[in-house]
Structure 1
Amino acid sequence: MHEILRSNDPVLLSFARSTLEGEGVECFVLDGNMSVLEGSLGILASRMLVTEDDAPRARRLLIESGLSHELRPEPE
Structure 2
Amino acid sequence: MIELIRTNDAVIISFVEALLRDAGIGSFTADENMSVLDGSIGILPRRIMIDADDADEARQLLADAGIEHEIRRK
CA distance in 2, matches of 1:40, 1:46: 11
- 1:9 correspondence with 2:44: no
Offset from partner CA, 1:16-72 (integer Å, 9 cap, x none): 010111011111100012133212211100000100111110000011001111000
Partner of 2:36: 36
In 2, the alpha carbon distance for the partners of 1:40 and 1:60 equals 30
Count of residue pairs brought into register by the alignment: 74
Check if 1:69 corresponds to 2:69. yes
The alignment's TM-score, normalised by the length of structure 1, stands at 0.91
**2:59 is matched by which residue type in structure 1?**
R
- Partners of 2:37 and 2:24 lie apart in 1 by 32
Please tell me the residue identity of whatever aligns with 1:38: D
Unaligned runs of 5+ in 1: none
The one-letter amino acid of 2:20's match is L
The CA distance in 2 between the partners of 1:36 and 1:60, in whole Å, is: 30
Give 3-state SS (helix, strand or coil) of 2:32's partner. Answer: coil
Q: TM-score, normalised by structure 2?
A: 0.93
